[in-house]
Amino acid sequence: MECPREERQELERRILSDAASFAKESKGRELPETECEIRTCYQRDTDRITYSKAFRRLKHKTQVFLQPEGDHYTTRLTHTLEVARIGRTIARALRLNEDLTEAIALGHDLGHTPFGHAGERALNEILKDEGGFKHNRQSLRVVEKLESEGKGLNLSYEVRNGILCHTGGVKPDTMEGMIICIADRIAYVNHDVNDAIRAGIMRETDIPEEIICALGTKHGERINALVLDVIEECRRSGEIALSSQTALVFDTFREFMFKSVYLNMKAKSEERKVFGILNGIFSYYIEAPDEMPEDFQRIARQEGACRAVCDFVSGMTDKYAINVFGKLFIPDAWQLTVDS
């Protein structure tokens, strides 16, 4: 009798589009492994990412607003889950591989810094003489090198390629990877609207009329309209993309968000502190790499202090970075004890 993995692989062959990435035809892992009897390679990769330490830390990493007060702001983890849901919806409608799509989605932001894109910009500036910093490259490093005590997760080629190429202008090798490129943008623009309204940065009525008319008045309506457009455009052209007309509206949407939120001085007033925090921590450990945790000391010995400190700092959560900065640079309170 066939094992559940073989049954699933045969089912993929029967129900998926010829354009899909079939688990049985994966280019495989860097280190060959015995196949799981139950899960396909892409299902296995999804589990490895979900159980990783880097994935758990995403719940304490900022999306847009730094250190927000309130339970309902988007975090890097909730963003990741939204991308996964949007991605799977598109993949299912187009008969592409949902398991591969989900694995890429869950891993795409594992290398993101504390303090969201403000942290990424800070590390990019700090490391400008070393080639800069990009979270997609760091996400790949997390799954290839940093997880599992330096052994990495040994993911399938297609998952690693999708993680690396979800941003930055290099097209992924798979249709499923292309889905995550667009699902990522659909997710963040729409949930950032909700967060901005919640924070009092903007009102629902501030959204330009052309966006409302084309995409809808509510969060769910806008996501649904964009997802449907991607599906219809792919069925028409074979490409994972928005139609030309909707793409123009979406570009207007993003421009509106940059002006109203991403570059808004009220929303970004705390970001000027991010460079100081991360630069302070980075500079300290460059001079004292032996004070980092043992895993990063090992990297420092093997690849140099700069690489190790980058890995250490980029993996921090917002609160952990603030706490480390405080311990390194803010004097402890002390009290003179007077004998009675």
pLDDT tens, 195-216? Answer: 888 888 889 899 999 999 999 9
Least confident of 8-12, 203-207, 245-249, 309-313: 203-207
Q: Which residues of 12-36 are buried (b: 16+ CB within 10 A; e: fewer)?
A: beeebeeebbebeebeebeeeeebe
Dist CA 40 CA 7 (whole Å): 10
- Identify the three-state secondary structure at position 169: coil
DSSP 168: S
Highest averaged pLDDT of the listed ranges 89-93, 206-210, 216-220: 89-93
Please report which residue ranges of 51-141 form alpha helices under DSSP H: 53-57, 76-93, 98-107, 116-126, 135-141
Domain residue spans in the chain?
272-325
Dist CA 205 CA 178 (whole Å): 33
Q: Is residue 336 scored above 80 in pLDDT? A: no
Q: Supply the pLDDT for residue 22.
A: 98
Digit-coded pLDDT (tens) for 305-332: 999 999 999 999 999 999 999 999 998 7
DSSP 142: I
Distance of CA 252 to the CA centre of its chain: 23
